[in-house]
Amino acid sequence: MEEKFVYLKLGAGNCLAEYWLSENNIRKKPAAAIYFGRKTADEMRKVSIELKTKKISKERAGKELNTRDVNQIVEFIDAGENAKSQRTIFVTIAHNSVYIYEPENHVLDLTEDEYRQYDDDLTGLSRNRPELSKAITQWKAIHNGKIERTPKIMYVKIVKIASIKEDKVPHVLATLPCSQYYTRGTCREIKRREDWAAIQAIKYCLGRKQEIHPSKDAQQLMSLLSPYELETLVFLILRNACLHVSAWRGGTLKDIDIIARNLKEREIEVPPVTFKPKQNLTFQVKREVKKPSENADWTVAIYYGKKDKILTAEWLLEQVKKQRDTEDWLKNSLDWVPNIDSLISTIS
């Protein structure tokens, strides 16, 4: 059976994840919900079919459904419609937990009476979770006396709920919501090259066999690190090369993540990078770039277009193997990967 992985956001910042994925929601059964205004499930289904059969354009479909990214609606509708022929694994990360679940049926509407009861549910939920009150309230169905934002739901089967704090959830999965690609969307398939590792992490959480064979591929190995772990690795490489690095990541300077300083009276080499005495050099750290940063002295990237001034995954691994402490950190960070010790040692 064909399988796909989809990241689903349930309300702003997943504020409604606990509500929908429990038995305490309006239907008293775990469900997934999608909103997109007042459009009904049948209206969404009709446009989705017309779009796939090329009866209408994507632009026309977007106008009818009042969204610039109609693919998100199609993904959700298809997951329910094709539940028997295609396995869709939904992932929602909220409240320090990773929810992994599958659709059980096609998409349904609530009744008008249920809209009112649903709003009452959200009133109680916002009262119990005051820190989320503002976010929760905006997802009510009735605004200014009119039904405006209605949930379209499908029943789901909860496969796994993993605690990020208590269970060993790989960092590359736990930090998936930090990607703007997912936080700015509602329902998006996890299929981009840089998110291959997140799929392996999902399989790990489910106790399934992973498709990790990086013994000849430093890029694949390093892609198993989250963006934050990747920045930490660069920090450790520079720090353990006797350079002063005040912070492990940036956020204040455009395209610059790490500043490394040579405080010594001699040169320090991290080939091909050479630090002259008292010299500062800057680094941008990205999983993927098309070209090196114009603002940083060097760009570290796993995937890249132009190689000039790029420090690659092969460079990262070469430095790791020279530094015992850094290598230990990498092994511990990727201890969820089968045979990680031998994988690191066998990649040349």
Q: What pLDDT score was predicted for residue 253?
A: 74
Question: Bigger pLDDT: 151 or 253?
Answer: 151
pTM score of the predicted model: 0.92
Residue 149 and residue 88 share a domain: yes
Residue 214: cis peptide before it, omega within 30 degrees of 0: no
Would you say the C-alpha torsion 5, 23, 65, 185 has a positive or negative sign? negative
Render pLDDT for 270-279 as a digit per residue (tens, 0 to 9): 999 999 999 9
Separation in Å, CA 86 to CA 67, 177, 203: 26, 25, 17
Q: Give the chain's mean pLDDT.
A: 92
Q: 71-75, 105-109, 246-250: which has the minimum mean pLDDT? A: 246-250
Q: What pLDDT score was predicted for residue 348?
A: 65
Question: Bigger pLDDT: 22 or 210?
Answer: 22
Residue 257 and residue 192 share a domain: no
Task: Report if residue 45 sits inside a domain.
Answer: yes
Render pLDDT for 293-335 as a digit per residue (tens, 0 to 9): 899 999 999 988 877 899 999 999 999 999 999 999 999 999 9
Render pLDDT for 202-234 as a digit per residue (tens, 0 to 9): 999 999 988 776 556 899 999 999 999 999 999
Render pLDDT for 46-74 as a digit per residue (tens, 0 to 9): 999 998 899 999 999 888 888 888 989 99
Residue 163 and residue 253 share a domain: no
Residue 164 and residue 235 share a domain: no
Q: What pLDDT score was predicted for residue 252?
A: 66
Residue 161 and residue 267 share a domain: no
Give me the number of domains the chain comprises.
2
Residue 200 and residue 226 share a domain: no
Q: What pLDDT score was predicted for residue 347?
A: 79
Residue 155 and residue 132 share a domain: yes
Domain extent for 234: 218-346
For residue 10, give the DSSP letter: -
Separation in Å, CA 112 to CA 31, 109, 146, 150: 18, 9, 11, 10
Q: How much is the average pLDDT of 16-37?
A: 96
d(C-alpha 174, C-alpha 195), whole Å: 12
Kindly state the helix (H) or strand (E) to which residue 78 belongs, with its residue range.
helix 71-81
